[in-house]
Structure 1
Amino acid sequence: MSGAEVFLGREASGDGSHVAGRQNLRLLVQLRWIAVLGQVLAIVVAVSGFSLALPLSDMATVVVLLIVYNFFSQLRLKWHLPVSQVELFLALLVDVMALTAQLYLSGGVTNPFIFLYLLQVALAAVLLRRRTTWMMAGVTSAAFAGLVLTRHHGYTLPLDLGGGLDSPFVLGMLVCYALNAALLAIFITRIMHNVRTRDARLAALRQRASEEEHIVHMGLLASGAAHELGTPLATLDVILGDWTHASAVTADPELLQDVRDMQAQVQRCKTILGGILMSAGEMRGEALSRTTVTAFLDSLVAQWRQAHPGARLRYSRTIDSDEVVIADQGLRQIVFNVLNNALEASPTLQQFTAVLENGQLTLEIRDQGPGFVQDVLRSLGKPYRTTKGQPGRGLGLFLSHKVARSLSGTLSANNLPEGGACVTIRFPLSALTPEDADEPAE
C-alpha cells in the first residue's frame, strides 16, 4: 500500500473493490464526455445566441486537453489493472482544473455554471473515502475563492455584476457554496457509509446462511448414518452378549476379557450415535439429561480420559455453583473435538480449565504443540481450513464455532507466547439452564 493511499484513507482491497474501482473510473469517463459535449454546446450558444465575446482559442484548448485526457483514461481501462482511490481523486481533480479554467475564461464567479463544482464534491462523496471527500470540498472551495480573487485578471462577461470579496453578493455566493459543499460532504458520506455497512451486513448474513445450509446438509447425512449404523451395532451387541455366556469363551479368561472390551466399544459407539441423533433433534423418546455444571464437566473429562487412556490431561475448574444444567451433547462434542486436536498436536500435555464468573462459563484448552498457522487463525470458523493435507478435514473447529454460537457464545483461538495454542469457549451458563431448573438433577 503506497503512502498516498494511506494518506487518502485507502485500505487494502480485494477483487471486489478492484472491480468497483474500474466501474467508478468508467463512470467518470462517461461523465467527462458529457461535460465535453456540454462545454461545446455552452460555448456555441453563448457566442451565436448571446453574442458574447469569449476567448475561443483558449477555451477550445481546454476542451481538447480534456478530450485527450479522456482518451487516455479509456485506454487505461483496457489494462485491467486495479483502480486506486488516488487515481479516482486525481481524475476528479483534472475535472475541477478544467472547470476552473473554463470559468476563469468566461466570467469567473459570475458564470452561472460555477455551481458545477458541487457535482465534483458529490461524486467524491460517493466514490471516495471521507478524508478524500473533504479534500475535494476544500479544493473546489479554494478554486471558487481563487476565481473571486483573480476576477480582474481574467476575462469578463457582459453579465458581470461587479465586485470582489467586498461585494455582499459575491461573498454570499462563496459562503453559500462552501456551506453546500460541506453539507454534501457530510450527508452523502454518511449515506454511503450506511450503504456500505448494510452491504457488509448482508454479505455476512449470506455467508452465515450458506454455512447454516452446509451444517443442515451434514446433519442430515450424520442422522442418516446414525440410523443405518444402529442396526448392525445392535446385532453386534447381541452376538457379543451371547459370546460372554458361551463355554468356549468363558473357559478362556483372556478371550472373555477381549469380548467384554469389544462390548464396551460397541456400547460407546451406540452412545455416540445416540448423541448424534439427539443433536439432530431425534430424542428417541428419552428425557433430557439433567445434571449440575460441575458434574457435567467432571463426567465430560472422565469420558474423554477413558477414551484416551494414554493422554496426559491436566484438568482444573473454578466453579462455586451446583446449578442445574442440561448435559448438552453439542457442547460435549465440541470440547471433545478441541481436546482431540490438542492431543494430536501435543501428546505429552494438554490443559483443560473451566471458570465460571458473572454467569459466564469459560472453557480454556491449551497444548504445547506448534500452534496454529496464521491462515487458520484468520479463517477461524470457516469449513475445510486445515493444514493436515487430507480431504474432508478441517470441520472440527468449524462445527465447534457454530455450536458455540448457538449457545450465544464465542469460540476463539490464539497462539501462546511460550509456545503452543489456546482455544477458548465462552458462553452464558443460562444457555444450558432448563426452564424448570428447580427440579432435582440426576
Structure 2
Amino acid sequence: MFNDLSKSPLSKNLQRLFMLRNIAILAQCLTFSLVYIIIDLDIPWTEMIIVVILLATLNLLTWIRLYRKWPVSHLEFFAQLLIDVFALSALLYFSGGSTNPFISLYLLPLTIAAATLPWRYTWVMATITIGCYTILLFNYIPLPHDHSKHLIEFNLHVSGMWLAFVLSTVIIAWFVVKMSISIRDRDHDLALAREQVLRNEQIIALGTLAAGAAHELGTPLSTMAVITGELQKEYVHDSEFQNNIRILRDQITHCKETLTQLLAKAGQARIEGGSQLPVNEFLNSLLEKWELIRPAVKFSHQSKGPLPAPKIMDNQLVSQSILNLLNNAADASSKQIEIKSHWDEKNLHLEIIDDGDGLSDEATQRAGEAFFTTKTPEQGFGIGLFLANANIERLGGSVHLFNLENRGACTQVTLPLIESKS
C-alpha cells in the first residue's frame, strides 16, 4: 500500500514509524493486561489508557495522511517522533517515572532521528529525551509497594528491563537494516540515472552527427542516381550489368527515401507519437523492407499469436532498431538467419537467431556499449546495437544477446504493445 509515496525515502520512513507505533500500542496493551492480572497494581489505569487511546488516534490520522500525496518533510517526521516521546513520557510518569524498567525506550526515537534526520534534529531530540528523563527522576507517580509482593515485583522489574532491552535491540536493528536497504536502493537508482544521462548525451551527439551526415549525403546520392541512370541507358544489351545496375539504383532510391522520410517521421513522432499498426502487419512490412535492403540474405520467419493482433507503435525508432539487430545477425551469419516472433495482449517477443561463430566473452559483457564492435571499420562502427538497445529500453522493452549451445547467437527482443481498450 501507499504506492504513491513509496518512492520518497522520508515517506518510507514514516510508513515504518507507523508500523512501529502499531507494534508499540499492541505491546502496551499486552503489558497493561499482564500487570493488571498478575500484580493487580493500584496505578492510574484510566489516565494511562487515555494516553494509549490518544496515541492510537494520532496513528490513525497518520495512516490517513499516508494516502495523501503531500511530500513528507523533515519537520513533519520529527514531529511524529515527538508524539512517541511525549506519549512514552506520559506513560512513564503514571507508572514509576525513572524507576520504570521501560525508561530505556527513550533510545528508540533518538536512534531513528539519528538514522533519518539531519544532525540538528538529532541534537534537538537528544536534548528533549534527556530533559524528559531528568524530569522523571524527580516528578512521577510512584508505584505502590506491597511487601508481600515485593519479590514478584522485583522479578517483574528485572523481566521488564530485559524485555525493554530486547525490544530496543530488535527495533533498532530492524530500522537500521531497512535504512541501509533504502540507502543502497537510492545509490542504485542514482547510478542508473547517471548511466541514463550519459547514454542520452551519447544519443544526442550521434543524432547531431547523423543529421549532418544526412544533409551531406543528399548531393552524392543524387549524383550516383544520375550516373547509374546514364549507365543503365548506355549498356542496354548487357543483361547481367542491367540486373546489377538495377539493384544499385534500388539501393540508391531506398537511401534517398530514407533520408527524406527521416525528418518527416521524426516530426510525426513528436506530434502524434507515431502511427499504430497490428503487430503482424508491422512485422511483415518491416521484413519486406529489410529484404529490399539486404536482398542477398536468406532468412525464415515464423510467427504466432492471437488474432486479431494487438497494435504496436510504428515509428522510425522502432523500425530502425529492429533493422539494426537484423543487420547485425545477417553480418554474423554464414548461411541463413531464423526469425521467430510471437505476441500476447501486452508484449511482442522477437528472436533473431544466426548461425555464426557466436559472441566472444568480451562481446557478451560489452554488447550495447557505444562504439564497441568486433567488426572492421569497413563493416561498421558499433553504434547500431547501442542505438537499438537504447531506443527499445526507452520504449519499455528489452534486448538480450546470448550464445546458443550448438552454434550461433540469439538476440531476444521484447517490445510493449498497445493494449486494446475494452
Q: Which residue of 2 aligns with 1:174?
A: 162
* 8 A contact 1:384–1:395 mirrored in 2: yes
* 8 A contact 1:312–1:347 mirrored in 2: no
Q: Map 1:19-98 onto structure 2 (within 5 A).
A: none
Q: Which residue of 2 aligns with 1:312?
A: 298
Q: Which residue of 2 aligns with 1:225?
A: 213
Q: CA deviation at 1:185?
A: 0.6
Q: Which amino acid aligns with 1:174?
A: W
Match of 1:201 among 173, 179, 189: 189
Q: 1:305 to 1:209 in 2, by over 3 A?
A: same
Q: Which amino acid aligns with 1:262?
A: L
2:340 is the counterpart of 1:337: no
Q: Which residue of 2 aligns with 1:422?
A: 410
* 8 A contact 2:299–2:337 mirrored in 1: yes
Q: 1:205 to 1:388 in 2, by over 3 A?
A: same
SS in 2 for 1:194: helix
Q: Deviations over 1:205-260 (max 9, x none)?
A: 11111101110110111011101111232233244445555xx4447666655544
* 8 A contact 1:413–1:421 mirrored in 2: yes
Q: CA deviation at 1:197?
A: 0.7
Q: Which residue of 1 aligns with 2:257?
A: 271
Give the Cα–Cα distance (whole angstroms) in 1 for the partners of residues 310 and 163 of structure 2. 68
* 8 A contact 2:310–2:417 mirrored in 1: no
Q: Which amino acid aligns with 1:299?
A: S
2:377 is the counterpart of 1:360: no
Q: Which amino acid aligns with 1:302?
A: E
Give the Cα–Cα distance (whole angstroms) in 2 for the partners of residues 222 and 280 of structure 1. 13
* 8 A contact 1:384–1:394 mirrored in 2: yes
Q: Which amino acid aligns with 1:173?
A: M
2:367 is the counterpart of 1:377: no
Q: CA deviation at 1:293?
A: 3.5
Give the Cα–Cα distance (whole angstroms) in 2 for the partners of residues 307 and 413 of structure 1. 23
Taking only the aligned residue pairs, the percentage that are identical comes to 32
Q: 1:251 to 1:368 in 2, by over 3 A?
A: closer
* 8 A contact 1:412–1:424 mirrored in 2: yes
Q: Which amino acid aligns with 1:394?
A: G
Match of 1:294 among 280, 283, 287: 280
RMSD: 4.4
Give the Cα–Cα distance (whole angstroms) in 2 for the partners of residues 363 and 300 of structure 1. 13
Q: 1:409 to 1:254 in 2, by over 3 A?
A: closer
Q: Which amino acid aligns with 1:311?
A: V
* 8 A contact 1:226–1:277 mirrored in 2: no
* 8 A contact 2:268–2:274 mirrored in 1: no
Q: Map 1:119-158 onto structure 2 (within 5 A).
A: none
Q: 1:197 to 1:389 in 2, by over 3 A?
A: farther
Unaligned 5+ segments in structure 1 are: 1-114, 127-162, 436-442
* 8 A contact 1:346–1:369 mirrored in 2: yes
Q: Which amino acid aligns with 1:234?
A: S
Q: Which amino acid aligns with 1:346?
A: S
SS in 1 for 2:418: helix
Q: Deviations over 1:22-51 (max 9, x none)?
A: xxxxxxxxxxxxxxxxxxxxxxxxxxxxxx
* 8 A contact 1:386–1:393 mirrored in 2: yes
Unaligned 5+ segments in structure 2 are: 1-103, 116-150
